Each structure stands twice: as structure tokens, then as C-alpha cells.
Amino acid sequence: MSQPKYTLISNPWFVPPENYGDAYHLPPAQAKFTSQRFAELQVEFDEKTRACWCFMKPHGRPSYTPGLLRDLDTLQQAIKKESTEARANRELPVQYFVLASKIPGIFNLGGDLTLLAHHIRAQDRHGLMSYARACIDVLHSNAVGLDVPLMTIALVQGDALGGGFESALACDFIVAERHSKFGFPEILFNLFPGMGAYSLLSRKLDAARAERMILSGKVYDAEELYEMGIINMLVDSGQGEAALRDYLASRGRRFTSQCAVYEARRKAQPLPFEELRDIVEIWVDTALKLQEIDLRKMERLVAAQDKRRNGGGSLRPVTQE
């Protein structure tokens, strides 16, 4: 039996038509990263679509806990390493990185507000900066497609607030169920979303609409964001995962061209890590100026979100007092 013939191409984002057969039938690489154990993630790999499904399941409040951030960074680095090795070995690497949640009705509620309040009361600039840098490290990796040819996807099946909304915005493609809610509640306690919101929204919309969204504190329905062009696929409640799996299965050879479009977007609208880092500096300076009344509002928001998670409340638009 003859060995399969492969064609090496200098740009991994582009497969010329005459090489479709060779490129599409590369032997698959083994997903070694799925053997790793994560405390706050559930990782699954779909061999057929070459999709890594990453379900968040943070300990405690459904936010970006330090443990969740560590797990996400570890997984991102493992996928990046395996993808690089697979291409070097002429194997088919991971094609999709799907960020989702295992918490019913909640994608992610954003920053670990209890931790932030602790650092602010202690005037611990180092603690705040360390947490913020961990957030933008993970967000920027998703925004640049882990620096390998793959597509990042956010599957939102519930509330995506603050940093949860930011992490979805950082992905190439957003799938949302109709009941999902999105917003930036930080204005309630005199802060702003500092881990990418302005950078990402101003690129997807424009500066004026980004500022309006950030400063209003409004909670948006998924359908509103779909009409704005922020959400790419809107599906009925409870159908998100099945719809996305069907969508990935239908991509086939279109994966190459779709990824190329997103790479072109990154070239046309680059997001330098330095931009995120500089805005985080502004965020930390602002956070350290919060007064006790602001911190109490922050803690009331935590209590309200916890109540809603336990089925005892509803999500309402936030207004500045």
C-alpha cells in the first residue's frame, strides 16, 4: 500500500484547490491534552470535527476564579503545543476551540468580585494586577486564535456578564441561545470592564456604541446583540450544543477558508497585548480608588447573582445611583 502524499505549504491558513485532497485527508493527531486533569474545566475532544470542547465549571461562584484562569491557560498552552507538533508531523491538528459552561443558565458572571473587594480594601495593587494580567493572558490567547490555525467559539447558554461577556467577545464566533443575557454591570459599583471590553467592542462596533454599552450598564438580550452583528448564530433555548455540533460537522473543507477570514480580520484589526495591558493599568488605578460604598454595592451584586443562580431572583438592568 503506497504512503499518502502530502504537500507542504508555507502559509498554514491557505490550502490551494489542487491540494484539497491531501490537506483534508491528513492523519489526525492524538489529542493528548484531554488526558490532563483540570480542577475547574471539563474537556472533551470530538475526533470527527477536531473540536476541543472546554466547559467551565469554576468552584464556588460562576466567575473567573484564579483556579479557572490557571486551567484555561494550561489548556490553551497544551493545545497550542500539540497543534504545532501535529503540523510538524504532517498530522491534522485541533481545528476548533469551544468555550462553554457546565452551569445551567450561566456562561460566566465575570470577575471574582469577592477576591477583588478583598484586594481593594487591602490596597493590594500587586494582587489586583496579578489577577487582571491572568485574565487578559487568557482573553488575548483566544483573541489571536492561540497563535495557531484554529477557530475559537463561545457557546453561550445563559448569562454572560462583565468578564464573561468579554471572554465571549474575544472568540472568533459566538453562538447564543435566545434566553441568554449579556451586559457590563461594573458601572453599578463605579468601575468599568477593564479586561478587553472597550478594545473588543470598539472593533466590532465603533467607539461611540462601545462606550454607550459600557456606561449604560444595560442588560442585552441575545437577539439584540444578534441584530447588532455581535452574535453570529442565534438558536432556540436548549439547542445550543446540538446546533453547534451540527454546524461544525457541516464545515468540512470550509474550515480553511473560514479561519483565513478570521486571520485576515486579525491583520486588519490587530489587538496588541500591550493595549490590553495598558488598559488594565487604568482599571487597577480606578479600582484602588473605590470607596466602601462602592464595595458594598459590589458585594450586593454578588449576593443578587448568587440568589439568581439558586433560582430565587431575576436579572434586571443595572442603573447608576
What pLDDT was estimated at residue 305?
76
| Rounded mean pLDDT, 235-258 | 94
pLDDT at residue 24 is higher than 90: no
Question: Which of the 8 DSSP states describes residue 35?
Answer: G
Place of cell 493572558: 137
At residue 102, what is the residue type? K
What pLDDT was estimated at residue 96?
97
pLDDT at residue 172 is higher than 80: yes
pTM, whole model, 2 decimals? 0.87
What pLDDT was estimated at residue 252?
85
C-alpha–C-alpha distance, residues 99 and 168, integer Å: 8
Cβ–Cβ < 8 Å for 6, 71: no
pLDDT for 116-149, tens place per residue? 999 999 999 999 999 999 999 999 999 999 999 9
What pLDDT was estimated at residue 60?
86
| Rounded mean pLDDT, 109-115 | 95
| Rounded mean pLDDT, 271-293 | 98
pLDDT band at 311 (very low <50, low <70, confident <90, very high): low
Q: Is 5 helix (H, G, I), strand (E, B) or coil?
A: coil
Question: How close are the terminal C-alpha atoms of the chain, in Å?
Answer: 75
What pLDDT was estimated at residue 30?
60
| Rounded mean pLDDT, 267-296 | 97
Calculate helix-pair angle for 240-251, 254-268, nearest 10 degrees.
100
C-alpha–C-alpha distance, residues 168 and 235, integer Å: 16
Q: Quick one: CA torsion of 182, 187, 188, 189, rounded to 10 degrees?
A: 130
Question: Is 3.90.226.10 the CATH classification of the domain at 30-238+255-309?
Answer: yes
**Residues sharing a CB contact under 8 Å with residue 180, sequence separation 6 or more, in sequence order:** 107, 156, 157, 158, 159, 160, 221, 222
| Residue scoring higher pLDDT (306 or 24) | 306
Domain boundaries, the chain: 30-238+255-309
| Beta strands, E only, the chain | 41-46, 51-56, 96-101, 105-108, 151-156, 158-161, 173-177, 181-183, 219-221, 233-235
At residue 155, what is the residue type? L
Cβ–Cβ < 8 Å for 25, 71: no
SS3 readout for 121-173: HCCCHHHHHHHHHHHHHHHHHHHCHHHCCCEEEEEECEEEECHHHHHHHCCCE
| Rounded mean pLDDT, 179-208 | 97
Alpha-carbon dihedral sign for residues 82, 83, 88, 92: positive
| Residue scoring higher pLDDT (100 or 254) | 100
| Rounded mean pLDDT, 11-22 | 36
Cβ–Cβ < 8 Å for 48, 249: yes
C-alpha–C-alpha distance, residues 305 and 315, integer Å: 8
